[in-house]
Each structure stands twice: as C-alpha cells, then as structure tokens.
Structure 1
Amino acid sequence: MMKKLLMILFISAPFIAQLVVLPFANRIDPIVLGLPFLQFWLFLWIVLTPLFTFGIYLLQKSQGGLD
C-alpha cells in the first residue's frame, strides 16, 4: 500500500509542479543562478522529472512488475 501511494506521488509531483504551481511561480524576482524564477522553476523540473520517472521504475521493479 505504501509503495502504491509513493508511486502516485511520483507520478503526480511533476504534473502538479509544472501546471498547478506554475501561476504562483510566475515572477521575475528572485533571480536564481542568473535566471528569472519562472525560467529556473521550469528548468529545475526538466531535470527532476526523469528522476521521478526512474523512481517509478525502481518501485515497479521491486514489486516484480517488470521482467
């Protein structure tokens, strides 16, 4: 049950971060790594989304869902 909940979290986190939170992140200040905050936010999730996908893969592999 816990692994299923974790998998749902891994699936929904990038979606929520990029679509639901995006209007709240739509601002220029603060400048992070020389980028406006919105651009930094989008680039951050471009990097994090494959990590979440890899986490889903590992959960399915531990449950025996992949051969």
Structure 2
Amino acid sequence: MYKVRLAIASKGKGKSGGARVITFVKVIKEKVYLVSIYDKGQLDNLSKDQIVELLKKAGLI
C-alpha cells in the first residue's frame, strides 16, 4: 500500500493542503488498485483500520 500527497495548484497550499491518494499494488496480476483519494482539508488522515476495511470491501485482502 502506498500513500502519496499531492499538491492541488488551484488551492495554492502545496502538498500540506492538497490531496492524498492511497493505492494498493497486487503483484499477482500486475494491477494497481486505487483505494481512496481525499482532500486533506476535508479529512486529515485515514487510520490503518479504515484502510484495511476499504481493502476488505474491495476484495483485495
């Protein structure tokens, strides 16, 4: 699983006020799954338990 911070130029706040992209790489079939994208101004962070729940709902774990 990878968490990446992205700047949103229109907000003018750099990475700290941008978005977060959470991806999960499943090597078996060479696929990358997008788990979540959220604006850090609306949600500070997803907990490990929340991410695990998202992965379970998607059938990835």
The answer, yes or no, to whether TM exceeds 0.5 is no
Pick the structure with more strand per residue.
Answer: 2
**TM-score normalised by the chain length of structure 2:** 0.28
Pick the structure with more helix per residue.
Answer: 1
Query: Which protein, 1 or 2, shows the higher relative CO under an 8 Å CA cutoff with sep ≥ 6?
Result: 1
Larger Rg: 1
**TM-score normalised by the chain length of structure 1:** 0.26
